Structure 1
Amino acid sequence: MARLQNKVALITGAASGIGLACAQRYASEGAVVIGTDIQDREDWCSLVGGDPENALYKLDVTDGAAQKAIADDLITRFGRIDILLTAAGVGAGGPINMLDEDAWDKVVDINLKGTFLSIKAVIDQMMAQRSGSIITIASVEGINGTEGGSAYNASKGGVVLLSKNVAIDYGRLGIRCNAICPGFIETPMLESVMDAMPEFRADIGKQVKLGRFGRPGEIASAALFLASEDSSYVTGHSLVVDGGYTAGHSHGIVEMLGLV
């Protein structure tokens, strides 16, 4: 069943990781997929199914004019934008006393302002067509704090509340907006973070109740649900997909009881 047949989807951060997995899943469900990313990827169209209408644009999500130009091009070509998924992001930060203003600005500008500009680029068209599904990629670190994560946590917490605000403001115009809050997902961004502090990988893994890090395709499955009519009465929600990481603390008791 092609749940996104005849839909037009715009995905930021689509060249790798969660964004690429979502592009592939949306294309497999019948959508025309337009991706954007700061990096080029010559094999992108073949990776998302080979449809010649699919395309990857090079884009800095902090450039509002460039975002609007791409959205306008989609409207000219297809007459509508049905789905926006904002996966562009960076993972960086540190305790405030160790974080300079430029580092703070980079994280907040890409993760939060970039999400705002992506939504702003498409919202007029969605209002005109009185329909649309906006899916933002936030993080479990936008719900619970994490050591040393000041800028990243703040930016993703902002994405969570921005998504709720969009749901409130535009719901009566047929526009839904939901956030996905991934846990620790095996992506290039996670690998770059873990490479810098490998001693923490095992400790973090112990707190994931399913006993492993997630896969990008598992986030794509959640993103498909939120893009499709299967979630027609879901808006303003923050969907945690984290293998149980935020369910509560583990202290070794299940091991003592022989439940592993």
Structure 2
Amino acid sequence: MTSLKGRTALVTGGAGGIGRAIARHLAQAGAKVAVCDMNLEGARAVAAELGPEHAAFAMNIADSAMVKEATAAVEATLGPVDILVNNAGIDKIEQFVDSAEDTWRQVVDVNYLGTVIVTRAVLDGMIERQYGRIVNIASDAGRVGSSGEVVYSGTKGAVIAFAKALARETAAKGITVNAVCPGPTDTALLDQVADLSQKLYDSLARAIPMRRIGTPDDVAPAVVFLAGDGAAFITGQTLSVSGGLTMA
């Protein structure tokens, strides 16, 4: 089992869904977890479930000043950030021709620029210590596209490319950067698909070779692996966790 004892992990979007599972699995592996989310009450509930050595912090990842302040609070409370999981993200399921510019900008600001902002906030410390593990939660939509998620797909493709490019810059500094791409996963986001079309939701499950929708607990172990010493020679990689839906 991967041991992260002595490590501090910062998880964005940690209050629910995949983020909550990632926080739990990181804690089980021994890391001290900073559960960061705009929903501070939800983040506090997750941190309380994890135990007293973990803590919750309010963070809007699209607000660089707030990210800087929250990151300083994390490091003052739990210690320098060794592991960053860029998990926070948003989407609105709709056809591109029906979408509005305000929605595009919000999706880009959170999913892509938010990932850039938080990464930049912790990177100097990682470089100084010559150690870091950065895991971006992207999506298979960013690899192959997804109908009804056109701008979202674009941002997740950008997150993957960002991870690869940053991995090249930081490989000699003891820092790895990788992306995990969940396929259809049982979260509030997928509930939007069911609300739009139960037939579409059911067809997604049938298309997956393992014949089921993924769960957050399917995704979290991949993050823990990439955060651990066993993945020290793995960087710039994209790992799909999709039950075989995407094999490219």
Q: TM-score range by the shorter chain?
A: over 0.9
TM-score w.r.t. length of structure 1: 0.90
Percent identity, aligned pairs only?
A: 34
Instruction: Check whether the contact 2:59–2:70 (CA below 8 A) recurs between aligned residues.
Output: no
Aligned equivalent of 1:100: 100
Letter in 2 for 1:45: A
Aligned equivalent of 1:224: 224
Aligned equivalent of 2:201: 201
Instruction: Check whether the contact 2:93–2:192 (CA below 8 A) recurs between aligned residues.
Output: no
1:6 alignment partner, SS class: coil
Structure 2 residue runs without a partner (length 5+): none
| In 2, Cα distance between equivalents of 1:74 and 1:145 | 35
Q: Could you give the per-residue CA deviations for residues 230-260 of structure 1, whole angstroms, max 9, x where no partner exists?
A: 1111000000110011238xxxxxxxxxxxx
Deviation beyond 6 Å, 4+ runs, structure 1: none
Aligned equivalent of 2:45: 43
Instruction: Check whether the contact 1:93–1:104 (CA below 8 A) recurs between aligned residues.
Output: no
Aligned equivalent of 1:242: 242
| In 2, Cα distance between equivalents of 1:11 and 1:189 | 18
Letter in 1 for 2:199: E
Instruction: Check whether the contact 2:11–2:84 (CA below 8 A) recurs between aligned residues.
Output: yes
Aligned equivalent of 1:190: 190
| In 2, Cα distance between equivalents of 1:137 and 1:152 | 13
Letter in 1 for 2:185: I
Closer/same/farther in 2, CA of residues 2 and 171 from structure 1, 3 Å limit = closer
Matching of residues 120-131 of structure 1 within 5 Å: 120-131=120-131
Structure of larger gyration radius: 1
Matching of residues 3-152 of structure 1 within 5 Å: 3-39=3-39, 40-41=41-42, 42-48=44-50, 50=51, 52-152=52-152
TM-aligned CA deviation for residue 78 of structure 1 = 4.4
TM-aligned CA deviation for residue 153 of structure 1 = 0.5
TM-aligned CA deviation for residue 46 of structure 1 = 2.9
Aligned residues: 246
TM-aligned CA deviation for residue 29 of structure 1 = 1.0
| In 2, Cα distance between equivalents of 1:74 and 1:184 | 31
Structure 1 residue runs without a partner (length 5+): 249-260
- For the aligned residues, what is the CA RMSD? 1.5
Instruction: Check whether the contact 1:80–1:129 (CA below 8 A) recurs between aligned residues.
Output: no
Closer/same/farther in 2, CA of residues 218 and 2 from structure 1, 3 Å limit = same
